Amino acid sequence: MIEKLEKIFNLLQKNSVFFISDPSDIFYLTKFTGTFAKILITNKKAYFITDKRYEGEIKNLNDNFEIIITKNFKKDLNFLIKNYKKILLSKKTLLSEYLLLKNKKIFFNEILNELRMIKSKEEIEKIKKAIEIAEKGFLHILKYIKENITEKDIALEFEYFIKKNEADGLSFDSIIAFGSNSAVPHHRTDDTKLKKNTLILIDAGVKYKAYCSDLTRVVGFGIMGSYFAEVKKYYEILRNARNFSLKFYKNGEFAQKPDRKARIFLKKYNLDNVFLHSLGHGIGIDIHEPPFINSREKIKFNNGMVLTCEPGIYFDQKFGLRLEDDYLINNEKPEKLSKLDENLIIL
Ligand SMILES: [Mn+2]
């Protein structure tokens, strides 16, 4: 914790103070998970502000922070910042908080994003465990899938299983999409019943000790005939696009490059216009965190970043395909952290 704080101390001049309020940033610095906490950091001191409810559980923060149990946050905040001219904020700061600080000179600073993007060994281990549990969950629900079951049944079974198997919970609401529902990238899992000759898209992840995993597979349930042939053909193209884009998941490369390359690849098959979202994103404490692998991202990859690669193609009213795994940037070739069989799953 102290090394992280020192990086922030070093950034600050005498007349400036850093205000931190994003819950994931606060967790990153302190492991605190309550609903109310703010951190203020000057060039030599850090304050942890919370309320009476959490007094008992934050005693371990005493070494690095001056703890302030507040009854009137606005008043205490004003008092603490009264001698500082400049305030540094992340762009994630809420508007209501920004308004409390706006009489100072405001500077945006994304050092917490920069620190959080590079995962420590310990963080990578937690993500690996989150992936492992999710993979067990995927294998479990494959056994559970049968005719007339609903999307929600599968989602609930997955959630029950992963919670019984060491996960804190889901990293997001699982997407279970039958047939034409899979053509909607962020389909809301519903009561649709499973029939034979249906494609199933499963996008799910879990949290383990606060760290997220994110995986997608497609399953053909009693799939046959020309439908099967079409699905198989497009799945191979998608996987090849994925393989091509992964060549650019390397230390020092621009994060936007693999997204652009995937689009160039898909264009050869006239599929670039049905690739409806960005190629990937960082995972960590948040399920979507920097860097974002889209055509606008300015950041370069660095060793230690953990990212998804998830190209998808969507045929409106028909079906959609997505293949998603999690990777660690490691010099020239990313390390694939997920081990789940990436072939089209046939049941
Ligand atoms: Mn994802």
Q: How far is the CA of 3 from the centre of ligand 1 (A)?
A: 30
pLDDT value at residue 44: 85
pLDDT value at residue 1: 72
Output the six-digit token pair for 50. 């919370």
Q: Is 276 helix (H, G, I), strand (E, B) or coil?
A: coil
Per-residue pLDDT tens digits of the chain, which is 347 residues long: 788 999 999 989 999 999 999 999 999 999 999 999 999 999 889 999 999 999 999 988 988 999 999 999 999 999 999 999 999 999 999 999 999 998 999 999 999 999 999 999 999 999 999 999 999 999 999 999 999 999 999 999 999 999 999 999 999 999 999 999 999 999 999 999 999 999 999 999 999 999 999 999 999 999 999 999 999 999 999 999 999 999 999 999 999 999 999 999 999 999 999 999 999 999 999 999 999 999 999 999 999 999 999 999 999 999 999 999 999 999 999 999 999 999 999 99
Q: How far is the CA of 269 from the centre of ligand 1 (A)?
A: 24
Q: What is the rounded distance in angstroms from the CA atom of residue 203 to the CA atom of residue 128?
A: 17
Q: How far is the CA of 72 from the centre of ligand 1 (A)?
A: 39
Contact (CB, 8 A) for 301 and 253? yes
pLDDT value at residue 319: 97
Q: How far is the CA of 56 from the centre of ligand 1 (A)?
A: 36
Pinpoint the residues of the chain covered by CATH 3.90.230.10.
Answer: 121-346
Q: How far is the CA of 323 from the centre of ligand 1 (A)?
A: 10
Residues 14-51: b if buried by 16+ CB within 10 A, e if exposed: eebbbbbbbbebbbbbbebeeeebbbbbbbeebbbbbe
Q: How far is the CA of 132 from the centre of ligand 1 (A)?
A: 16
Q: What is the rounded distance in angstroms from the CA atom of residue 23 to the CA atom of residue 318?
A: 40
Q: How far is the CA of 175 from the centre of ligand 1 (A)?
A: 11
For residues 230, 233, 235, 239, the Cα torsion angle rounded to the nearest 10 degrees is -170
Element holding 77 (H helix, E strand): helix 73-81
Question: What's the helix, strand, coil split of the chain in %, to 5?
Answer: 35, 25, 40
Pinpoint the residues of the chain covered by CATH 3.40.350.10.
Answer: 2-116
Written as one letter, the residue type at 256 is Q
Instruction: Give 179's DSSP letter.
Output: G
Contact (CB, 8 A) for 146 and 196? no
pLDDT value at residue 200: 98
Output the six-digit token pair for 34. 């309550």
Q: How far is the CA of 288 from the centre of ligand 1 (A)?
A: 7
pLDDT value at residue 208: 98
* Whether domain 121-346 has CATH 3.90.230.10: yes
For residues 23, 27, 31, 32, the Cα torsion angle rounded to the nearest 10 degrees is -20
What pLDDT, in 10s, does the model give residues 285-344? 999 999 999 999 999 999 999 999 999 999 999 999 999 999 999 999 999 999 999 999
Assigned CATH topology for domain 2-116: Creatine Amidinohydrolase; Chain A, domain 1 (3.40.350)
> What does each C-alpha distance from 332 to 118, 140, 185, 250, 301 come to in angstroms?
16, 34, 30, 5, 11
H helix and E strand count, the chain = 9, 20
Instruction: Give 341's DSSP letter.
Output: -
Task: Please name every residue paired with 346 in a beta bridge, in sequence order, or none if there are none.
Answer: 220
Instruction: State pTM to two decimals.
Output: 0.95
Q: How far is the CA of 85 from the centre of ligand 1 (A)?
A: 40
Contact (CB, 8 A) for 285 and 28? yes
pLDDT value at residue 62: 86
Q: How far is the CA of 134 from the centre of ligand 1 (A)?
A: 13
What pLDDT, in 10s, does the model give residues 27-61? 999 999 999 999 999 988 999 999 999 999 998 89
